[in-house]
Structure 1
Amino acid sequence: MIRSVVRNIRKLSAVSLTVIGLLSVSQASEKEVINFGIISTESSQNLRANWQPMLDDMSEKIGIEVKPFFASDYAGVIQGMRFGKVDLAWYGNKSAMEAVDRASGEIFAQVVYDDGTTGYKSYLITHQDNKDINNVKDVLTQASELTFGNGDPNSTSGNLVPSYYVFGVNNVDPNEVFKRTLNANHESNFMAVANKHVDVATFNSTHWSALEGKNSPLLQQVKVIWESPEISSDPLVWHTDLPEDLKKNIKEFFMSYGRDNPEETKILNNLSWSSFKESNNDHLIPTRELESFKAKSK
């Protein structure tokens, strides 16, 4: 009799495991569309052109349509994840921290740049004609006469990093010392400097390299007057509620993408990347330290 009971328990366990497995597959298959959030570092038209080929490849690989999700600022993508309109996203470190803390996000990967590195730098830029502005000291000395183009409040290289390394360590508030301070994305800040609409602005090495790759003549109009220590490369974040088997498929796609396929490499190069590597929420530790300093300063 005991043996009979044991056999029945084993049968029930096997059936239970099968049901759990079927439910897991069902959960993933029920999701007909994945919305991929893309932060607004430049115009959505430019972003769509660079991102769509990879998202199409992702749709084919995982068997679910992947649609880009754009917003007018970084906060819009964070809020999209918070309220279930964004399933996974490309963020900068600061916006990823907000997504992890406020929108049930979790980092699962980070980008590898096209030179093989996993770091980049924040810049301060000005027009080549500004002969009296060549470093941070010049900027701060003349600040009351200058218009400053700051980055999106949730941008790492455009806002958080310079707020510490340029302004925080010098005990100044950019909103108070400049004649005027504006907030915009990287592309808009660069164009504003090149066209002399602002005197100094934040930018970064990734977008500078992208302009070099396009042989942009505007680079001749702009000079870098400060660069930060290295910043960890951008993370990819998914919503923690995604089914586990779907997370597995998504991660497998990114870990293999661009590795042995020239066409995929070309697509990634348009984003200034070469591949992806695994990561987790510990990726945010340096960003949290900078944010903590910023909060204490206030």
Structure 2
Amino acid sequence: MTFTPARRSALKQALLCCAALTTLASTLTCLPAAAADKVLRVSAIPDEAPTELQRKFAPLGEYLAAKTGMKVVFTPVSDYAAVVESLATGKLDLAWLGGFTYVQAKIRTHGTAIPIVQREEDARFTSKFITANPDIKTLADLKGKSFAFGAPSSTSGSLMPRFYLQQAGLNPENDFKNVAFSGAHDATAAFVASGKVEAGVLNTSVWDKLVEQKKVDTSKVHVFATTPPYFDYNWTVRGDLNPALIQKLKDAFLQLDPANPQQKDILALQRASRFIPTRAENYDGIEKAARSAGLLK
């Protein structure tokens, strides 16, 4: 086949273009890791509605971006297990976990997940048992009643309340009329307020927020019992994250100052007076409670 000068020129340009594309493709194969280093991927257990989680995180995300020089991307997930799995498989760098989900993450990552900070309030966290039934005044009055926990993997909405019910001699599946799982703390309050169940349990922080925002009618729904305190929420990083970045993140949380108006607003959205360091050993009691309840083997 004979090529005219014009066709030879076009063919030469096409070959050069292919070579360039091959070089570019080779270069792009190296980009994801480098690009990932510039993006901090964050999520949280879905213990409240996704829109509320996004609203709470937005100012904190901007603050962390300024402190780390990274783009911060928050991605809500559908369930607790998804956060644990995403952290374990390297799809997340930083996650807001409950005490029990941290224990699950520790086990799933063979001990490499690192809890870096918790709110000061999380060192003595509690759950509230609520009802709209005036006949329910004590835990013993729950016998024969319908009851709602939050999500099955929730520390404050399921595990620790269940543990304390068992300490009080109550087995929910045997002693209650029926047991429901609302999926989130605010949903539990709605279940109780609507009469879908006669009683339920949710974490104190969310209960206080609902009361402050007048999203629950306390003339109808009231607290009738509170659990003893336990360690709960924390911010956890994946273990193979750059140590320098881990330290930057830890320092950023610890430097949040309630005397700074802008940072005070960030802390308020997190329901935190301040952040303090935490460590894996703080959650040993939760792991024991989970094993006692048959939720871990």
Query: Shared fold (TM-score greater than 0.5)?
Result: yes
Residue aligned with 1:34, SS: strand
Identical residues among aligned pairs (%) = 25
User: Structure 1 unaligned runs (5+)?
Assistant: 1-26
Q: Structure 2: how far apart are the matches of 1:220 and 1:47?
A: 28
Give secondary structure in 1 for the equivalent of 2:294. helix
Decide whether aligned partners of structure 1 residues 28 and 255 sit closer, same or farther in structure 2, where only a CA change above 3 A counts. Answer: farther
User: Using a 3 Å threshold, how does the CA distance of structure 1 residues 63 and 148 change in structure 2: closer, same or farther?
Assistant: same
* Matched length: 262
Query: Structure 2 vs 1, CA of residues 192 and 61 (structure 1 numbering), >3 Å: closer, same or farther?
Result: same
Look up the match of 1:124: 129
* Matching of residue 105 in structure 1 with residue 105 in structure 2: no
Which of the residues 120, 133, 137 maps onto 1:134?
137
> How do residues 140-289 of structure 1 correspond to structure 2 at under 5 angstroms?
140=143, 143=144, 146-170=145-169, 172=171, 174-183=172-181, 184-289=183-288
Equivalent residue, structure 1, for 2:96: 90
TM-score by length of 1: 0.81
Q: Which amino acid aligns with 1:280?
A: R
Contact in 1 for aligned 2:93/2:237 (Cα 8 Å)? yes
Is the radius of gyration larger for structure 1 or structure 2?
2
Residue 41 of structure 1: aligned partner:
47
Aligned residues of 1:168 and 1:297 also touching (Cα < 8 A):
no
Residues 30 and 190 of structure 1: CA distance in aligned 2, closer, same or farther (over 3 Å): closer
Alpha-carbon distance in 2 for matches of 1:277, 1:28:
31
Conserved in 2, the CA contact under 8 Å of 1:39 and 1:91? yes
Partner amino acid for 2:123? Answer: T
Give yes or no for contact 2:258–2:267 (8 Å, CA) kept in 1: no
Deviation at 1:221, TM superposition (A): 2.3
The verdict on how the C-alpha distance between 1:28 and 1:262 changes in structure 2, with shifts beyond 3 A counting, is farther
Match of 2:81 in 1: 75
Name the CA distance, whole Å, in 1 between partners of 2:36 and 2:54.
Answer: 26
Amino acid at match of 1:126: T
Distance 1:213 1:273 in 2: 15
RMSD (CA atoms)? 2.2
Preserved CA contact (<8 Å) 2:99 2:233: yes
Contact conserved, 1:111 with 1:233, CA < 8 A, in 2? no
Structure 2: distance between partners of 1:125 and 1:92: 21
> Would the alpha carbon gap of residues 244 and 269 (structure 1) be closer, same or farther in structure 2, given more than 3 Å must change?
same
Deviations 1:169-188 (A, max 9, x none): 4152x234333221121111
Which 4+ stretches in 1 moved above 3 angstroms? 27-30
- Contact 1:69/1:86, CA 8 A, preserved across alignment: no
**Partners in 2 of 1:149 and 1:36 — Cα distance?**
29
Q: TM-score, normalised by structure 2?
A: 0.82
Q: 1:171 to 1:200 in 2, by over 3 A?
A: closer
Give the partner amino acid of 1:102: R
